[in-house]
Each structure stands twice: as C-alpha cells, then as structure tokens.
Structure 1
Amino acid sequence: MFKTRVCELLNIKYPVLQGGMAWISTAELAAAVSNAGGLGIIAAGNAPADVLENEIKKVKQLTQKPYGVNVMLLSPYIDEIMEVVFKEKVPVITTGAGNPGKYMKKLKEIGTKVVPVVPSVALAKRMETLGADAVIVEGTEAGGHIGELTTFTLVPHVSRRLTIPLIAAGGIVNGDGFVAALALGAEGVQMGTRFICSQECVAHKNYKEAVIQAKDRDAIVTARSTGHPVRVLKNPFSRELLKLEKEGRSKEELLKFGTGKLKLAVEDGDIVNGSVMIGQVAGEICDIKTCEEIITDIINEASNRIKNMSNFV
C-alpha cells in the first residue's frame, strides 16, 4: 500500500526516514531504523571527518541495508567530510545549511542519492534544478534548526511544483501524520523526535525522559535574532537564551552561550543547562520503543486510518 517512488529511489521497504540529529543520530540508531525497513541516517554535524568515517564503518557492521549520512554544508570540515562520503560510497546523503552543487557531479558518479532538506518552495525548485534526487520539505514544527513555514502548508506548495519525490518532515510522529503527509503530496516522511525515544538511540536517558514529559507548548523557538532559529525544550537554558536575545545581545554572544549545550544535554544528560532540541510532536510521545516497533506502529496505524476513511467514501 505504501510503496512510493521514495522506496524505489532509496531501496527501502517503507518510506520512513530517521532525521539526522547531531550527537543523537549515530550508527546504532541508523542501523536499527534501516534494519526495520526505513532509512537510518548518521548525522555528521560539525564533527571531524574521522569521527564520521568510524560511524560509517560501524553502521556497515550493523546492517546490510541502505543507510544515509546527513551533511551540514557549513561544517568547518565539510571538504574532508565529503571525501569520506566519496571514499565509502555512501548510498544516500541528506544535506542542510548550504548548497550541495559543488559536490553533485562526483556524488552522481559514485551513485549516491542526494536529498537536500529545504524550508521553502524556491529552495526546493533550486535543488531540483541542481540535480537532487528528492527533497525533504521540513516545516517549522521540527526540532533543531527550522524555517518559518509549517509542514502542512509547505508540502502541498512544493509538491505541485516539483517532479522529483518529496519527503515531509516536521510534526510527524504517527500513522495519522504519515497519511496526512501523503495526502498532501509527499511520498515519504522523515521523523526525528520520535526516534529519540527509541531503545537504540544513544541519547542520555534524561534527554529521552524530557521528551516524554514535554507538553504541547514546551517546544519553543530561540535564536531568531541570529537568523538561525532553533526549536528546543523550554528549560532554564532556553529561558536564559531568550532573555539575552531580548536584551539585544550580539549574534556572537548568543552563539557562544549556546556552544556545546546540545552535547551537554545529549551525552551528559544535563537537561537544565543543556539544549534539548525537540519538535512540537514531543507532547504526543509517551513511551520508548524499538525502532522496529515505531515503524511497524506507523504503518499499521496508517493502514487502519485509510480503511476507516474508506467508510466515508
């Protein structure tokens, strides 16, 4: 029922991708998602190239299925990161914070599928022109770095203007969201926050518990004044950051204040002083399951939703 062009393009059973989350999307999580029939993605973040290379070698030991790497094009190590991608012949890369055009020719030569993350119609059309194989359309409901448009406004806008497949991200956590995304023109979904609360995710238990305890209004937006807004959990860290913004502190001061805070939350479990990046769907997550259970639940819920909807036709 849910075989789409995304499944064919990425050679996966279900059109479900796991988002590339810095410090969270490791080989363990990516392999578990891939083994469950989706596409697991390792986050390169701002890590040096040797860290990514080790994660890729690890994921190859943990799964024989396709996997991906999320590349931040503004990384200080981007050229070295891309050399690792070329060397390891990574099957899929998703890209953010920049233009992948510089690397497109070589990626095509080694057979890598290129799927940029985009927050607008204009950027989606530009990526198609550059030769992207698909795009991930991410709305402001997502955790971490965000755009301004909502997922379910942006998806139909983009889908009517592209010929390549579209994957919806931001605000999707269950089968209902999956069906809604497909109804609006998407051919797959990407989820981040839901996979944080998986057994295979290496994030500290405090981070996972913070997601589970979050309510519908607890994921707030910070750092708008820097030009790079970030959605995070409402906690002492984010409140202080908002206070500094209101005082008119410089972009440099704000960036310095936030440096290292995500790692502090993910690895050390400091959810008071750390940056807990979560999407608005956190209020819908109440348990920790295996990646296989998460994906199976989504597909089953989506199938049941469609069956129930058929009663109204």
Structure 2
Amino acid sequence: MTTAPAIRTPLTDLTGVRHPIVQTGMGWVAGPRLVSATAKAGALGILASATMSLEQTEKAILEVQERTDRPFGVNMRADAADAGKRVDLLIRHGVRVASFALAPKPDLIARLKEHGIVVMPSIGAAKHARKVASWGADLVLVQGGEGGGHTGPVPTTLLLPSVLDAVDIPVVAAGGFFDGRGLAAALSYGAAGVGMGTRFLLTSDSAVPEPIKRRYLEFGYDGTVVTRKADGMPHRLLRTPFIEALVSERRYRQVLPTIRRTLAYKRMSDASWRRLAADGWSMKSSSDRSWSQTMQAANTPMLLKAGLVDGDLDAGMLAAGQVVGAIDDLPTCAELVDRIVADAVTRLAAAQATVTPSREKT
C-alpha cells in the first residue's frame, strides 16, 4: 500500500488515482501483473492491448479487475481494424481510461466519453494536441525525444511547454522521467503528471525476464539509438548487437526475415489474412509509410516479443528511453511510486521556500 502523501492534479481528479504518475502502455510489458501493481501503488497503470487479440484483451482486463479495484486504463491502436470493438470492450467492463498511440477519430472519442471513460491520446506535437483537444479528448500525453519506443526529435523540455501553451486540457509529460525531481519539474512546468515506460519496465513487478532487466541496467546514457530500420518510424531502442546489425543492414536483406515474422505473428495471434490485410491497409492509410515500411511496422510486435518476452537478444529488440542510463535498481511499483512522490513533495516545498515575497516600498 502506498504511504507517500497524495499530490492532487487534474490527472488525479479525472482518473481517480492517488498520484499523478502514469505507467505507459508498453507492448509485451504492460500486462495485468504490472498494471495491477501500478494501480495498487496509487498510480495509473495502462494495459497494452495492441499486441493482444480482442479475446486476449478482454481476458487481461478481467484479470486486472480481479487483482485490484483501483482505476486503470487500456492502450489501443486508433488505426486498428477492430478499434470499435475494443472500445466496446472498455465500455462493457467499465475501464476508466482509454489511451491511444495515435489520434482516435472524433466518433470514437464521443462514444467513450458518453460512457464516462477518460480519453487520453499520446501526441508528439502541439498541433496534434490542438486537434485531439478540439475533438473532445480529456487530456493528452506528450512524449519528448528522450522517450523509448516510437519517439520524435524534440526534447521534452521544449515540447512540453509548446503543448501546454497550445491547449487548455491537462497535459501529461513523458520522455526522460524516472524520479521525484522529474515529477516536481513537470508539475512546475504546468503538467498534470508524468508518464514513465522504461522506469516501470525496470521494476520487480514487470514480467520482462530477469536476465533482460539486468541487461538493461548495464547500459549508460549512450546505450540507445533512434532508427527507422525497425519499422519505418523513428524508434528508440537499446544498442544490442541485433540492433547494431539491423541499423547497418541493407534493406533487401530484411525482406525474408520480415516475411517469416509475418507468418509467426499470424500463428501467434490467430489473425486471419483478411484481418492482417485490413490492419496493414489501415496502418498505411494513416501514415506516410511506404508498403515495405508498413510490412516492417506490422512485424515490430514479433521483434519486441523476441526480446521482451522470449529474452532472445540475437533475434529481438528492446525499446528503451535514455533514462536507462540513470536506473540501477529494480524496486516494486509501490516502492518506486512512494519514493518518487515523497521526493517530489520535498523538492516542491524546498523550491517554494526559496521564493521571497516582494516588499516594495509604497
């Protein structure tokens, strides 16, 4: 049980959690175990459903609800062919927050809001924040370039204030956060809270294999690389031998492995060729990827699974933020959230104490 003092912000008011901290929806990482542990710690856990079938998503939601009665969220791909059915799942099971990796269409936002579900898209630019705010999103999560996985070129310290100035809805800051100083800084900027991925991945509650977690701890600040070679979009990954080889590999050498991974993903997900084609078309039409890049993007889940689930560094990849260089332990979610919040409260109080009221003469 969390023992740190509560920090109330628009994020906590909207979602019903105790602390303004979001565990982001990392594919293959943010499963029921991690999400429920985060929720019990008083933060907002986000279940990653993009790597799950519809049936697996429902099973995962029910498992989280069996483990805890605290609020949590589910992350979805807005461009998925079955996005509407996934929205129905959230409505049916009373999930508190709907998180989106891409901007959901206004009709999806409206359906969720009609049922009291908080809508939180992830965005990477002020113009995108303005768009989803005009469509009715309740808050946005903005990730700076320091963040792991798909990311942009602008650091959080520049991106966050631009988004805060652009919209009136609450903003959650992600990319580069791992401790109380970061939370205090984000709140001082005007953010409603922080989102963390790598920091929650590196907890004892994460289901990532222990040897892989220990491998993460070996990397420094220069231990990540941003590449488009994985799926056609800028992707921050650990500099494992596999990724170093991928970065230097010629495109034609990727074709055969891409086809093999497509077949493996089809077997694992029980997806029909029709569904794979529909997802591919949806992905292609919602981005500026070429067809070859779309094929690579469709196979990203298998590459991540090989590293994060199977622990195979020779055939898989590991998403990671630059904060991996600052992390050296594997606490429980409760320990992590408590110490972040307690430290943030101390630092905010100390900062306030340095402000001396003006005493102008009259």
TM-score by length of 2: 0.81
Aligned 8 A contact 1:95 1:116 in 2: yes
CA distances 1:283-311 after superposition (whole Å, capped 9, x unpaired):
11101111010001101111222233345
| Structure 1 gaps, min length 5 | none
Aligned 8 A contact 2:236 2:321 in 1: yes
TM-score by length of 1: 0.94
CA distances 1:150-207 after superposition (whole Å, capped 9, x unpaired):
1111111111221111100111000111111111121111111001111111111122
How many aligned positions are there? 313
CA 1:21–1:291 in structure 2 vs 1: closer, same or farther (change >3 Å)?
same
The 1-side partners of 2:113 and 2:232 are apart by 32
CA 1:91–1:235 in structure 2 vs 1: closer, same or farther (change >3 Å)?
same
Match of 1:267 in 2: 309
Match of 2:46 in 1: 41
- Once the two structures are overlaid, the 10-residue window that deviates more, 220-229 or 49-58, is 220-229
The 1-side partners of 2:350 and 2:91 are apart by 46
Aligned 8 A contact 1:73 1:98 in 2: yes
143, 146, 149: which one aligns with 2:148 = 143
Does residue 289 of structure 2 align to residue 284 of structure 1? no
Aligned 8 A contact 1:159 1:166 in 2: yes
The 1-side partners of 2:9 and 2:192 are apart by 6
The 1-side partners of 2:73 and 2:239 are apart by 31
Does residue 341 of structure 2 align to residue 299 of structure 1? yes
Q: Summarize the alignment of residues 24-63 of structure 1 with structure 2, pairs less than 5 Å apart.
A: 24-63=29-68
CA distances 1:246-302 after superposition (whole Å, capped 9, x unpaired):
889753675477561100111111133311001000011101111010001101111
Match of 1:156 in 2: 161
120, 125, 132: which one aligns with 2:130 = 125
CA 1:261–1:5 in structure 2 vs 1: closer, same or farther (change >3 Å)?
same
- Once the two structures are overlaid, the 10-residue window that deviates more, 239-248 or 100-109, is 239-248
Shift of 1:83: 2.4
Shift of 1:70: 0.7
The 1-side partners of 2:116 and 2:62 are apart by 19
CA distances 1:193-234 after superposition (whole Å, capped 9, x unpaired):
001111111111122112211110111111169651111000
| Structure 2 gaps, min length 5 | 1-5, 255-291, 356-362
Ranked by relative contact order (alpha carbons within 8 Å, sequence separation 6 or more), the top structure is 2
Shift of 1:79: 3.0
Shift of 1:133: 0.5
* Letter aligned with residue 117 of structure 1: S
Does residue 274 of structure 2 align to residue 232 of structure 1? no
Match of 1:22 in 2: 27
* Letter aligned with residue 168 of structure 2: T
Q: Summarize the alignment of residues 60-75 of structure 1 with structure 2, pairs less than 5 Å apart.
A: 60-75=65-80
- Once the two structures are overlaid, the 10-residue window that deviates more, 85-94 or 136-145, is 85-94
Does residue 13 of structure 2 align to residue 8 of structure 1? yes
The 2-side partners of 1:153 and 1:216 are apart by 20
- Once the two structures are overlaid, the 10-residue window that deviates more, 154-163 or 118-127, is 154-163
The 1-side partners of 2:54 and 2:145 are apart by 29
The 2-side partners of 1:115 and 1:253 are apart by 28
Q: Summarize the alignment of residues 139-288 of structure 1 with structure 2, pairs less than 5 Å apart.
A: 139-223=144-228, 227-244=232-249, 251=293, 254-255=296-297, 258=300, 260-288=302-330
2:309 is paired with a residue of what secondary structure?
helix
